[in-house]
Structures are given as structure tokens and as C-alpha cells.
Amino acid sequence: MTITDENSKQSKKSRKLSSLSVILVLACGLMLSAAVLMPASAASTSPVLPTVAFPPRIAATSPPIRSGGESSSDSGNFVCASHGYPTGEPACWPMGVADYGITPSNHNTYTYRSQSDEAFITINSISIGRNNCGNPCGGGEGTLSIQQNDVGNITIKGGVQQTYWPQDVLILDYYPASQSYSVIPVDNIWNFSGPFINIVDPMTAVTGNLNNQCIFSGGAPELWYCEAAPINNLHLPLTIGTRIDFYQSGGYNYITFWMEILHGSAVVYSQTYDKIEFTASKATAAPELYVEPCLPLLPQNPSTFGHCSVGTKESPIGLPYDAEWIIGGPGGGSQVYINSISAVMSEYYWNAGSSSYVPIPHAYSNGWDTAEGAGGVNMVRNGGAMTALAGSGTDNVLQGLW
């Protein structure tokens, strides 16, 4: 695919650095370089994160910065608090479909393991409004992310099993001059094996970009990230698929990230754009993604973060073992307001018994683990199908879809 001069600038534009402050307070930023934006009081204790980071949702002592958004096309000022902060403003949540291992109708619990999870969205129409990441956060007039978020256990050196959070993310940018979109594939892997800033063996014993598709990568010791080249000159309707695979080869554990983009039935992009090897030592068990029962408790204050209202199976970091496919801000814990949207969303996992991908057995209307959120999105079930419709309206949080 040809990259226009206008949009090729996007591949060279990096996204700012963010910082962890106290527990985690993030602000979106400008460059994937050594530049750092960090409160002076936190400079000696807080690790530095690039903004291709899509951080986990952790209790913070204050709401995130809400600066001016990018787009002037939305109908009003940006009034969308980060989820979980009792500020009196409407909350933005990571809206989409998520499996928490809890049936919506009667709160029965279930669990499953898998080595592959995939998700799809068909965007028929969308108007992206303001975000609180600031003007430099994206290359277009409107910017958001769509994230596939899983939690998996991987055995590393000494037979130690650790919990990791891989994210297969697309950043969607709109260019009004050409009335076109671009998609940037991005992946993150975070270590969920303990209190976030005190992780034993953080993200240092990994080797990524084994497929040589990342134009930016790195992030150790806080995370692994990869940003691939943008796919430009896209027009609606678009269907975009992502897939995260866990597998073992030669005794080592791997995670791969795949993305596919279709115009109608025509495939315009299909790549396994990143492959990561866990290199500490040969593994004694194959990696798996987990879904365990934990329906999150809606927080009234930061002390309620990381608790289950139904079920008890939290990851070591205190967030659910869930499978998410969500719409959120363009990175760094940011929020975005969606003026209007019409889209279909679905998520599937590999069932080894049937040797096929099957829909997640139950779904709720929003994710929980990621810090990014989207306001103005209302999720409903797509008739009797095990898919969901994303439409315009008020965020309907933890609504059972099927």
C-alpha cells in the first residue's frame, strides 16, 4: 500500500512519554525518545513509560490530567472523567465486550484456558470527538484506540509462573483533508505478577520484534512495546481483526500479535507484526491465557479498585483475569469522547476440544483492566447473535450482553 506524504509523517511521529506517579498517574505525551515528562517530586521513584503504552488501571491519588482535546468537531467541551474517580463528571469507560467468567443472568462462575484469542470490529460510521491526551497525541483530527486485552500465565526461569497482560491495539486516526483514516498496530506486554512498581523480574528477559515489523520498540524494564508502520488511506466501512497467540517452541515461550484490515471483503493488511520470546530460560509449561471469575466492583473511591463484587479470582496485581475488546483513548491512560458510532464487535477464543475459535461464552459491556476509556458509547447485544452493537449514547457500565 502506498503511503502518502501527509500520512507518512505519522509513522515518524512518536507518542509522548508518560510517567507513573505515586501509584499510577499518567499523562499523554509527544516523543518516543529519551524525553521525559515527569513531576519533579516523582522523578526519583517513578519509572518512565512511552505513550505507545496502554497502562493498566491502578488506583491513583488524584484524577488524571484533563487537557484540551484534539478535535474541534465535537459538540461541546470535553467532560469525561477517567473511570473510577468520583469527580462528579460523567465517567469514560473502556467500552466494548469483556468476559469476566461470570454469567450475567444468575452470576454463575466459570473458567477457561486457551492459547489464542481473536477479536473483530466492523466500523460502519464514526465521529471521533475530543480526547484528553492533548494535541500531539495523534496525527489526525480525531484519535482513539481499540484494544484486545488478555491476561495469561507464562513460566519463566526456575519454573516460576508469572502473570502477563498482552495487548493487541490499533490506533485509529482520522484525516479530514483526505477524509481518510490510518491504523497503527501497537502491542504492549506488562507484568501483572505483583504490585506494579515492585515487580519481581520485570519485563527485561524478553526479546521482541522477531518479525522485524516494529518501527519503534522497547520499554524495559516496565513493559514491552512495539509500534508497527501505519496503514493509510483507509475509508469506512472497515473491518479490523486482532489476535494474540501464546505458544511454546524449542522449550521457550512466545507471544505473537496479528492484525488484519478489510475493505468489504478485500484484505488490505494482514500481518503477524510482532513476535516476542521469553528468554530467561527454557520453560517447563506452555503459556496460556486465563479467564477466571471476577465481576469488578464499581469503585466509589480508589480503595475499592481491584475488588470483585462476584467471584474472587484476581490476578496478582489486583485486576481481573478477563478477556477484553474495547474502545478507549489513544494511549497513556487517556479518555476520548465519541460523538457518534455504529459498529459491530465480537471476540473469540481457541477451543482445543473442538479445534476451532468459538465466541466468548458471556460478555459485559465494558472492560476493566486498561486505563483508557471512551464516553458516548452504548453497547447492546446484536439480536440473538453472540456479537455486540456499539452505538451512540451513554456508557452502560457492566451491562450483561449475553
Predicted confidence at residue 131, as pLDDT, reads: 81
Distance CA 309, CA 114 (A): 25
**44-53, 106-115, 168-177: least confidently modelled range:** 44-53
Which of 287-291, 300-304, 388-392 ranks highest by mean pLDDT?
388-392
Identify whether 47 is preceded by a cis peptide bond (ω within 30 of 0).
Answer: no
Least confident range of 117-131, 140-154, 241-255: 140-154
Q: Is the pLDDT of residue 49 over 50?
A: no
With respect to residue 139, please indicate whether it lies within any of the assigned structural domains: yes
Q: Are 132 and 138 contacting, i.e. CB atoms less than 8 angstroms apart?
A: no
Instruction: Choose from 156-160, 295-299, 380-384 the range with maximum mean pLDDT.
Output: 380-384
Establish if 30 belongs to a structural domain.
Answer: no
DSSP state of 321: -
What is the mean pLDDT of the segment spanning 47-63? 51
Please give the average per-residue pLDDT across 99-110, as a whole number.
96
pLDDT, mean of residues 29-48: 27
pLDDT band of 80, cuts 50, 70, 90: low
Residue 216 — very low, low, confident or very high, per pLDDT cuts 50/70/90? very high
- The pLDDT of residue 70 is 34
CA distances from 240 to 2, 70, 176, 345, 347 (A): 19, 24, 21, 10, 12
- Residue 139 has a pLDDT of 45
Question: Residue 129: inside a domain, yes or no?
Answer: yes
Q: How far apart are CA 71 and CA 58, in angstroms?
A: 28
3-state SS assignment for residue 226: strand
What integer best gives the mean pLDDT of the chain?
Answer: 77
What's the confidence (pLDDT) of residue 302? 45
306-313 LR contacts (CB < 8 Å, sep 24+): 306/59, 310/102, 310/107, 310/109, 311/100, 311/101, 311/102, 311/109, 313/101, 313/111
Contact, 343 vs 379, CB < 8 A? no
In the chain, % of residues over pLDDT 90: 49
Say yes or no to pLDDT of 67 above 90: no
More confident residue, 190 or 52: 190
* DSSP per-residue codes, 46-88: --EEETT---B----SSPPP----S-S-SSS----EETT--SS
Residue 145 lies in a domain: yes
Task: Determine the pLDDT at residue 13.
Answer: 35
Q: Is residue 7 part of a domain?
A: no
Q: What's the chain's Rg over C-alpha atoms?
A: 19
- Top-confidence residue, 390 or 134: 390
pLDDT band with cut points at 50, 70 and 90 for residue 201: low
pLDDT at residue 19 above 80? no
What is the grid cell recorded at 244?
A: 494474540
Instruction: Give residue-wise pLDDT tens across range 232-283.
Output: 999 999 999 999 999 999 888 999 999 999 988 899 999 999 999 988 767 7
pLDDT of residue 195: 53
What's the sign of the alpha-carbon dihedral 177, 179, 185, 187? positive
Length of the chain: 402
Specify the range with the lowest mean pLDDT, choosing from 52-56, 119-123, 294-298, 390-394: 52-56
Domain range spanning residue 173?
Answer: 50-392
Which helix (H) or strand (E) element contains residue 6? helix 5-12
Strands 238-249 and 116-131: antiparallel
**Predicted pLDDT at 79:** 53
Read off the pLDDT of residues 173-198 as tens digits, 9 standing for 90 and up: 999 999 999 999 999 999 888 654 44
User: How many domains are there within the chain?
Assistant: 1
Return the C-alpha cell found at 339. Answer: 460523538
- What is the DSSP code string of 136-186? GG-SSSEEEEEEEE--EEEE-GGG-EEEEEEEEEEEEEEETTTTEEEEEEE
Beta bridge partners of 218: 225
Model confidence at 157, pLDDT cuts 50, 70, 90, reads: low
Confidence band for 231, pLDDT divided at 50, 70 and 90: very high
Q: Is residue 65 part of a domain?
A: yes
Q: What is the pLDDT of residue 23?
A: 23
d(CA 395, CA 221): 35
The more confidently predicted of residues 229 and 86 is: 229
81-82 and 91-92: which strand pairing?
A: parallel
pLDDT for the residue 4: 36
| Candidate ranges 282-291, 322-331, 332-341; pick with highest mean pLDDT | 322-331
Lowest-confidence region among 165-179, 214-228, 234-248 = 214-228
Does residue 25 lie within any of the structural domains?
Answer: no
> Which amino acid is it at 77?
N
Average pLDDT estimate for 97-105: 97
**Band of the pLDDT at 371, cuts 50, 70, 90?**
confident
Residue 218 has pLDDT above 60, yes or no: yes
Cβ pair 137, 335 in contact under 8 A = no
pLDDT at 332: 82
Question: Residue 151 pLDDT more than 60?
Answer: yes
Is position 135 within any domain?
A: yes
Query: What is the DSSP code (8-state) at residue 42?
Result: G
